[in-house]
Amino acid sequence: MIEIYHNPRCRKSREGLAILQDSGQVFQVVEYLKHIPNKETLAAIVKKLGIKPEQLVRKNEAIWKEHYKGRDLSESEILEAMAEHPKLIERPIVISGDQAVLGRPPELIAEFIAK
């Protein structure tokens, strides 16, 4: 089953969701601000994306700038920060099996689900 980690208030996330809806694929929407992923789930997502945790952080968020910017954080600490403050999680994320894509730009989602 395909999952999309989605924030309805985010334009890019809405564009990614529309791509999935238009694809005809069966998928599940995870509104991650309501159903906050824990550290272990985030670690699994990062692994599926093939990136470092820091690459999944929205660094322009005030929370990041005020509490984390400029600090030497471990990967575990970055995952904890995202679990504690889910606004820090970049979106949309689409997961299928053991692979995932960050929909920035959203067109990457269309390429991902076409595979």
**DSSP 8-state class, residue 57:** B
Q: 14 CB contacts (<8 Å, ≥6 apart)? A: 8
Indicate the burial class of 114 (C-beta count within 10 angstroms; 0-12, 13-18, 19 or more): exposed
Active-site choice (2, 3, 10, 110): 10
> Residue 5: which of 26, 28, 39, 38 has the closest Cα?
28
Active site residue 70: no
Give the whole-angstrom CA distance, residue 95 versus residue 100.
4
Q: Which residues are catalytic, by number?
A: 10
